[in-house]
Structure 1
Amino acid sequence: MGKALAALVPALLLDGQGYLLEANDRAAELLQLENHYRRGGHYDQIISKRTRICWVELCQRLESELSASIEMYCHTGEWMEWQLSAFGTNYLFTGFNITSRRRRNDKRVFENLPVGLQQFTPEGYHVDSNTIQREIWGDEHPLFKDPDYNIIEDPFYQQIGLSQLFREALHTLQPARREILLRYKEDIRDGVTRLQPYYYEATVFPVPNRETGSTDLFLMLNEITAQKLAVKRLEKSERLLDNIVENLPIGYIQFDHYGFVRRVNHTQRRFFRMREAALDKHYNIMSDAFASIYGFDKLFAKVMGENKMLRIEMQMDFSLEKEWTDLQKEVWVDLTILPLQDPVNKKQIVVMLVNDITEQKRERKIRTQLQRNTEQLHLLFDAVDMGYATMERNGLVTFVNRKAVAMSGGDIKRGCNIFITLPEFAANTPFAIRFAEAMKSNVSESFYSYFSRMDKWYDFMLTPMPDGALSVFIRDITESRKMQKDLYRANNQLNRLNKSLVNQNQQLEDFAHITSHNLRAPIANLKALMQMYMASGQSQERELYLSMLQEVIHKIDETLNDLVDVVQIRKNDDVEREQLYFAERLQYVKDVLLVDIEVSGIQLTTSFEKAPMLEFPRVYLDSILQNLVTNAIRYRTLERIPSLHLKSWKENGRIVLTAEDNGLGIDMERFGSKLFGFRKTFHKNKDAKGIGLFITKTQVEAMGGSIRAESTPGEGTKFIITFKPE
């Protein structure tokens, strides 16, 4: 024991009751034992008051073979671990310096804190920080790069209030706390860069430094961005809700649980024409005389007592109230009174929604009167000898009189859909088309239509009405239509007969002109050859003249046959039309001209999608297509592969057919007026007769159509044929 007391290891010798028997100098220094305490002082007075572990508890630990040791911070700035051990009938209390270990543990705790923590000198210079704090600042922050950097003197941190926290904590020696917007960070989402604010709760607290005798400052940063943004969103939603309430299209009045008005929105103030002075008074619905007239005090009490919503319509005369409103008239209001809980103090409040329904009540009254008048009008229409019905935009019948039901021949009644019930009124029928036009233009439409199911003609007038519905007036015009049809047939027959006579006269004139023009030269040649034949005495020469005579006679016969074909076309103006498809008739022509098409190598392309069919005489259409293809082959150029493109479409109710080739072309300035002439040719082609285009033009015009051409020499020719509809 003497050696232990003499050593540098601090040691205390205590008896079985915990009283101090001996203490060496080192122990006395650490425990600040005065001389009179070195003997006779009790453990609980010396140590227990600092460690909160009494002598009895420490001895029990030792007897239970547990660790009978305590850790204690001494005034010297050292951490000591005191170990109790048995020493005979007494106890030895030995101290060991664990300052380094405690500092390592403190550093570990410091590093693993869930918030950022940083130590500064009292002047504001960085000393140490944990990892989270470094991540908050970033490794490039001057705190970690510049040893002379002072955070208190930084203008930015002075501006956001962080520097003031340091000064406040140093001045008061108390923790100082504030929420700060520390920085912004780029947040890139979907290619869009946004600046994301980062909020922190900053706490600066002073800690005395026993080693230096000064006070260190610690900065703790705890990120609260999510909470802060949530608060801001809440504040924004509150402002939005407040704005919505203020601008609701109906009145909004809020009462507290005593009946005092807490809030009146703009719509309600405007509706009641509330005086500004009245808004400053403490209005109470339970004590207001005007409110009592209409039982608002009882309604309020009922809603509060039963905690249920209440809705009621009532008529109120505001001329009885002079104090807080300038609305001096009777109005109808729709009231919704509902109980709510104040989110702040959790007390019950009452909200009253006020909707001015004066106009709706007036409209209902007018609508009732209108319905009565409509019923009387329907009775009147049932008595007239004309079909009448009303229907909505979608074809829903709202009224139909007896005459219209009889005329329809179907089960037409109120509530049915006219477009479904009657096939004559289905989609794309004349009635449906005119119905849509009338509703779109808001202008009456008149037309007549034939109902084959009943063999009836009806005259319709569709009149849009202001309420969006449609009135339909129907007259039976079957008899008049039959008389018109008979008269039309008679007139047509007379016109055809007259046209035929005029046509025949014109044919005779044309035939005489063409015959004299086209036979004069061949006959003159024939006469000259006969004279030369008669005058010749040599048999060989006479045989030559005879062969030339045969050739001239053949040409005269060919000309006469062509003239007969033309006359026949013009004469036969009543040739039968039939439904023909361009593609089918062109295929027929291609089969006929197969050899010519193969030899010439012509490329035939078509575009018949917009008008695939035509009502026309088959023999005429085949002849027209054959002449167009033959012309493209006959007058092709050797410079390129010949081609012909046929295209059809509808224009102004007529069908147009074009045939465009890439052949020799025609000089339209020189030959345009003669292009469709009889026996007119414009190229040195041995097969050219000048009859094809003339016949084509004759056939087209015989059916009421027209043909023209566009051409550029060396590029090709385009024929445009317009067919007259049946």
Structure 2
Amino acid sequence: MESILGVVKRNIEQNLKNNYTATITLALSIDDNGNPKNFEQIAQQILSNNNYIDAVQLVPNGVIKYTYPTKGNEAAMNFDILHSPLHRQAALKAIKTKSIYFSGPVQLKQGGFGVVGRLPIFKKDKFWGFSAVIVKFKTLIKSTGIPSFKKGKFYFQLSKINPLTNKEEFFLENKSDLKEKNFKKVEIPEGDWTLYIIPKETNHLLSFSPLIGIAFLLSSLCGIFTTTLLRRPSELQQLVEKQTRKIAESEFLFKSIFEHAGLGIIHTNSNDGTFIETNDKFCELIGYSQEEIKEMNFMMITHPDDLGEDLENMKKLRKGEIDQFSMEKRYFHKNGNIIWARITISPLWKANDSSNSHIAIIEDISKRKETEKEILESKQKVNDIIDSIDGIVWEGGSKEPGVNFVSKKAEAILGYTPEEWIADKMFWRKMIHPDDRDWVVEYSDKCAHNQTPFDFEYRMIHKNGNVVWVRDIVSVYRTEQNSTRFRGILIDITKSKQFEIDLNNSLKLVTEQNKRLLNFSHIVSHNLRSHTSNIESLINLIEISEDENERNEMLSLLKSVSETLSQTMNNLNEVVSIQTNINPVVEQLNLNKYITKTIEVLHNQIIKNEVKIDNSVSDTTTIYFNPAYLESILLNFLSNSIRYRHPDKKPEIKLRSYSENNYIVLEISDNGIGIDLKKNGKKLFGLYKTFTKNIESRGIGLFITKNQVDTMKGKIEVESTLNEGTTFKIYFNNAAKENLHH
């Protein structure tokens, strides 16, 4: 009973697998937009290749829209299964398990009695609908092989728990109570069915009353005793005939299973691999006839890449190390094609006996393998497309940091492998440039919390230490479990960003130069006009004057104006030389050494005016600057501190230096007359701007000094109080060492 039940169960499972393949084939005909392609042709091919499927359907959003064949199934069109109490529960179970589930046997909408296998389809992580197969109940029973056992000693029963009444329903003949029956049963989870096998004959014990039994026993003892010897030969003959019938029935049963099974079955010599007997299903599978098969062994038709594993398993089976084994292997069809099969090998010898032969059950899994291959190829194509994108494609959650997918482009752009990204949940945050990390993390967390897409630019650190500018474009999507996830692409924009930075720097430089040029043109226009006007007036006076003394006096004035013009031209030339020298020579200079040199140049003025100088600048302080500019700057500031000394105080000048961010700062403080910054602060560094009545003031020194410091990308700050003194802070840019020239 168990053997027969196992065969029927395998037939059912094989049929259900064929139905599963059919539903997958239908599902693959739906494009990414959810539209079926060539439904009629594909459905026709499915039915022509499978005699145990009566119809196929596509059920978008739970509503039957496509049916083949249409004839005879018109009543099922536009039927909403998700709103039908009879079908809804089975449909929801298929969606929940994401696998095929068979509802029924049930009364079909188009008429008749049958089962419906529904495979849920998901497109872009959203439920699309079902692909379905309809198998009439008679067709299902025929595919199981149950009708071939009607004349035997057993009968079958198929049952299922009704989802509405929660009671067990039986669908085959002989629905009597099974409690008193000596049955065997198996479960078929794809449809939540229970399959029973029950013996037809039932032994009834005769009931005798005690008195009649005793009387019968006493009266029979003598008869039995006297006839035993005479009946012995006859009983032995009957026993032999009975055992012979049992053997014949067993052989007939085995032969029926062997010949009518839906799977390939082969009886094989375990020592040399030759085929003793094969069923028609196996011959159909590999394309050889029974006669051809018997002249071969299993090694001849096994793919060489699978033969080693097969032989190793057989070796273990013969040694008794394993009781049986299963494996997936390839056979060569007679036409040269490769057939994928799943084989299960069971020995036909008892424990401790020598190995002689074994039985192999062969299931054709070529379609499944082809489907798996197509899925793998499709996945590989998607991966190849992702890896070909010129950017790092990534995916991660919205609540916890870290990513669960990073494309291979990550290594080309940032030097780190996808495995390194995924291994550390905080990897992305660690690779953000320190100056950008806080605001980038804060901004991305905010967008994640609000579940909004975002697009922004920031810097990351390459594995080799270089800075890489990236543009991060992030979109939001929801999974089937209703959780929010993010997908993004990091694009390397370093080159374009550097171009943008260079362009902005160039624009700033041009703007500054234009500003200086405009300022310079105003200066030239104003100063030269006044000088030329004076010269023109003096020449006119000389021409009209008749007094020799007056003419000489005019000539003296003309000479003075000419000298002033010459001095003005020299000043303007110096300004031009500074403003046109865009990339002056930069050297590493000892600041204290140049201060000492400047003090020596001003030695006479310092002695004459009793100036006290307090220089606390370290001998080790160095700056990156132009030597000529540094001499000019120190000379201008120190001479100005002496020139604008307070008449009632002995002049004091203090010099000190320190570091501030990327600058070396030199402070020059004096106790002189000071500057009214509220009144004159905006024009402090203007050309020819003076703020005292000192006859030595020309208004050129601070202008030139400011231009020199600006050219070297430094800056000047000033603090001053009238009658108390002034402090100038000169900021020397340490980044200038990048332009160092030896």
Superposed pair shares fold, TM > 0.5? no
**Greater gyration radius:** 1
Q: TM-score normalised to the size of structure 1?
A: 0.34
> Greater relative contact order: 1 or 2 (C-alpha under 8 angstroms, separation 6 or more)?
2
